[in-house]
Amino acid sequence: MSEKIKPSKKIKPQTLKGFRDFLPAPMLVRERLMQTAREVYRSFGFTPIDTPALEYSEILLGKGGDETDKQLFRFQDQGDRDVAMRFDLTIPFARYAAAHLQELGTPFRRYHIGTVWRAEKPQKGRYREFVQCDFDTIGTKANAADIETLMVIHELLTRIGFDRFTIRVNNRMVLNGLLNRLGATDRAVAILRALDKLLKLGRDAVVAEMTQQAGVSAAQADEILRFAELKGDADSLLTEAERFVAGDAAGEEGIARLRELVSVCAAAGIPAERLAIDLSIARGLDYYTGTIYETFLGDLPGIGSVCSGGRYDNLAELFTSQPLPGVGASLGLDRLLAAMEELGFVDQIPSPAHVLIVVMSERLLTQYFRLARDLRAAGLAVEVFADNKPLGKQLQYADRKRIPWAVIAGDEEADRGRWQLKNLSSGEQRELATSELAGEILAGTRIAD
């Protein structure tokens, strides 16, 4: 392969299939979402970590199924090491925990906002590079951590600006308890696989699959489905569910943990309509072992869960013999952003600047920069236009960038310390003294966090 090219031949400025450039407007929203997530995680005492984008392939291949293996960006590096790009933040965290646990101690709560890569077939809303925002509490089995996980999810969605959403919660112990009572624990995988299709295929198809492929009786399938379809407010639903698992210790413990979660969350101020018990959700077949979370937007449930997670028995068993139970969830940043765009929650503003200082005379650069400094000190983002172009061009620029204010002064005005402040949406213009500008602009501007 020859890389030498003639300077005159231009290279096509394309990105790889499934990869994206981020333009300023959506990137500003992305940064705001990530910053909100950081602030929420920190406010609950979660601490940030980071791990490399590249790992030894054996680390990443250890747990993933065949599907994951095929999606790995994997290669030999310069030292002939077999390496791959991380495809999630969970396995790197497991390796990290095993490597540093001595130093970190338990319980340990971390968040990790990072890019991951999967060579999936690109499709609408699916990319080969995306950001995950995970948080986990490890080293404890206490239900307090499960309850707090739900509170973090609630706070995330609320702080991002959502009002109508539901966090659906289940506990795998309850379903396990029922299967145990039915003597069907050995067929759990096939049963759960069928159950997962309930929404898509409907009751009859699921019963058929359970009896034909999972080898349970029609009566058993019916019982499982009556259980999964229990509806109602959390208290009465749990009371009914308890009958299905009566006598099974794990099942009863699952019910008790859900009950405590519901009552503590209610008492701590989480509105009842935002929390729903849903006994049908399982989230994959064998990873989660306790509480499970999925979060749906009231205005856009079809987009799927925007924040999901659960409790697991042992995070890092591939790397250490020390058992590490934990609970956590992951905010689906890209899915959330797509939802916000679809719902019109996102102003497409391509500049963070509140004010453009128009350059009317190169002689005045000092005055322009001084004014910019003073306005910044007052908390405003200020752009001094980079060229001495005609006024109309500069105002057009501000308009295109959705900058709300322009400050204009030529030699004569600037020498008198006077400025024209122009509101670029209304077109209104007023003459003000230097000392009046910041106050006037601040009074008419919503400053984002």
What residues between 16 and 35 interact with a second copy by CB under 8 A? 16-17, 19-24, 27-28, 30-31, 35
Note whether 321 binds a second copy by CB under 8 A: yes
Ordered DSSP codes for 284-338: SSSS--SEEEEEEETT-GGG--SEEEEEES-TTTTT-SS---EEEEEE-HHHHHH
In the complex, what is the shortest distance from the CB of residue 260 to a second copy, in angstroms, rounded to a whole number? 8
Q: Which of 197, 231, 373, 430 binds a second copy (CB under 8 A)?
A: 373
Among residues 204 and 449, whose Cβ is nearest to a second copy? 449
Q: Which range in 47-55, 243-251, 302-310, 330-338 contacts a second copy by CB under 8 A?
A: 47-55
The site for a second copy, by CB under 8 A, has a size of 118
Q: Which of 65, 105, 247, 344 binds a second copy (CB under 8 A)?
A: 105
In the complex, what is the shortest distance from the CB of residue 118 to a second copy, in angstroms, rounded to a whole number? 11
Shortest CA distance to 312 belongs to which of 11, 116, 63?
63
Q: Which of 300, 381, 391, 442 binds a second copy (CB under 8 A)?
A: 381
Burial 346-370 (b: 16+ CB within 10 A, else e): beebebebbbbbbbbeeebeebbee
Among residues 66 and 204, whose Cβ is nearest to a second copy? 66
Cβ contacts of 56-61, under 8 Å, gap ≥ 24 = 56/81, 56/82, 56/83, 56/84, 57/82, 57/83, 57/84, 58/82, 59/91, 59/92, 59/95, 60/84, 60/86, 60/87, 60/91
Q: 232 near 278, Cβ under 8 Å?
A: no
Q: Which of 109, 257, 259, 311 binds a second copy (CB under 8 A)?
A: 109
Q: Which range in 72-80, 209-217, 231-239, 291-299 contacts a second copy by CB under 8 A?
A: 72-80
In the complex, what is the shortest distance from the CB of residue 207 to a second copy, in angstroms, rounded to a whole number? 35
In the complex, what is the shortest distance from the CB of residue 364 to a second copy, in angstroms, rounded to a whole number? 10
- Could you identify the residue written with the tokens 């058993």? 220
Element (H, E) at 357: strand 355-357
Note whether 257 binds a second copy by CB under 8 A: no
Phi first, then psi, for residue 430 (nearest 5°) are: -135, 150
Q: Which of 262, 340, 353, 414 binds a second copy (CB under 8 A)?
A: 353
> Which parts of 88-185 fold into alpha helices (H)?
90-104, 143-160, 172-181
35 contacts: CB under 8 Å, gap ≥ 6: 449
Note whether 48 binds a second copy by CB under 8 A: yes
Among residues 131 and 307, whose Cβ is nearest to a second copy? 131
In the complex, what is the shortest distance from the CB of residue 340 to a second copy, in angstroms, rounded to a whole number? 17
Instruction: Give the end-to-end CA distance of the chain in Å, rounded to a whole number.
Output: 50
Shortest CA distance to 58 belongs to which of 87, 31, 32, 82?
82
Residues between 402 and 441 that touch a second copy (CB under 8 A): 403
Shortest CA distance to 394 belongs to which of 440, 357, 426, 421?
357
Note whether 269 binds a second copy by CB under 8 A: yes
Note whether 119 binds a second copy by CB under 8 A: yes
Q: Which of 33, 36, 37, 95 binds a second copy (CB under 8 A)?
A: 95
Note whether 443 binds a second copy by CB under 8 A: no
- Structure token pair of residue 26: 């959506």
In the complex, what is the shortest distance from the CB of residue 161 to a second copy, in angstroms, rounded to a whole number? 17
In the complex, what is the shortest distance from the CB of residue 301 to a second copy, in angstroms, rounded to a whole number? 27
Note whether 397 binds a second copy by CB under 8 A: yes
Note whether 182 binds a second copy by CB under 8 A: no
In the complex, what is the shortest distance from the CB of residue 296 to a second copy, in angstroms, rounded to a whole number? 23
Note whether 103 binds a second copy by CB under 8 A: yes
Q: 169 near 295, Cβ under 8 Å?
A: no
Q: 150 near 169, Cβ under 8 Å?
A: yes
In the complex, what is the shortest distance from the CB of residue 106 to a second copy, in angstroms, rounded to a whole number? 9
Q: 51 near 114, Cβ under 8 Å?
A: yes
Note whether 117 binds a second copy by CB under 8 A: yes
Note whether 136 binds a second copy by CB under 8 A: no
Q: Residue 291 and residue 310: Cα distance in Å, rounded? A: 5
Interhelix angle 434-443/365-377, nearest 10 degrees: 50
Q: Which of 33, 89, 133, 145 binds a second copy (CB under 8 A)?
A: 145
Among residues 307 and 316, whose Cβ is nearest to a second copy? 316
Q: Which range in 2-10, 164-172, 174-182, 422-430 contacts a second copy by CB under 8 A?
A: 2-10
Q: Which of 14, 102, 123, 435 binds a second copy (CB under 8 A)?
A: 14
Q: Which of 196, 223, 299, 317 binds a second copy (CB under 8 A)?
A: 317
